């Protein structure tokens, strides 16, 4: 991803931001799951990335899709969508 020469820097930043939030949520989800299997209570000072992603992940996903369509998709007539 870091050698992304075909994306505008703003587009790359938006995709990277969404990907990071998803990775953080997955890491935390699996860490909590493993801790539960090990019988360890999960106490964390970190924000709950999983709950945050559950609340806003779908909206963020659709917002990113809308942004990409508006900036990269064109009709057969050559007009932006």
**Total-model pTM:** 0.64
Q: What are phi and psi of 74, to 5 degrees?
A: -130, 155
Question: Does residue 39 belong to any structural domain of this protein?
Answer: yes
Question: Does residue 80 belong to any structural domain of this protein?
Answer: no
Coil vs helix vs strand at 31: helix
- Looking at the 3D structure of the chain, how many domains does it have? 1
User: What range defines the domain where residue 19 resides?
Assistant: 9-72
- Single out the residue of 60, 58, 79, 51 nearest to residue 17, CA to CA: 60
Question: Does residue 67 belong to any structural domain of this protein?
Answer: yes
Question: Does residue 4 belong to any structural domain of this protein?
Answer: no
Question: Does residue 2 belong to any structural domain of this protein?
Answer: no
What's the distance, Cα to Cα, between the start and end of the chain in Å?
Answer: 26
Q: What is the pLDDT along the chain (81 residues), one digit of tens a residue?
A: 555 667 788 998 999 999 999 998 888 888 877 776 666 666 666 668 888 888 899 999 999 999 988 888 777 776 766
């Amino acid at each position: 991803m870091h050698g992304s020469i075909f994306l505008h820097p703003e587009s790359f930043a938006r995709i990277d931001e969404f990907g990071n939030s998803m990775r953080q949520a997955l890491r935390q989800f699996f860490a909590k799951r493993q801790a539960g299997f090990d019988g360890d209570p999960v106490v964390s000072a970190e924000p709950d990335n999983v709950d945050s992603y559950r609340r806003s992940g779908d909206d963020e996903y659709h917002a990113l899709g809308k942004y990409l369509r508006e900036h990269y998709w064109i009709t057969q007539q050559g007009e932006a969508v």
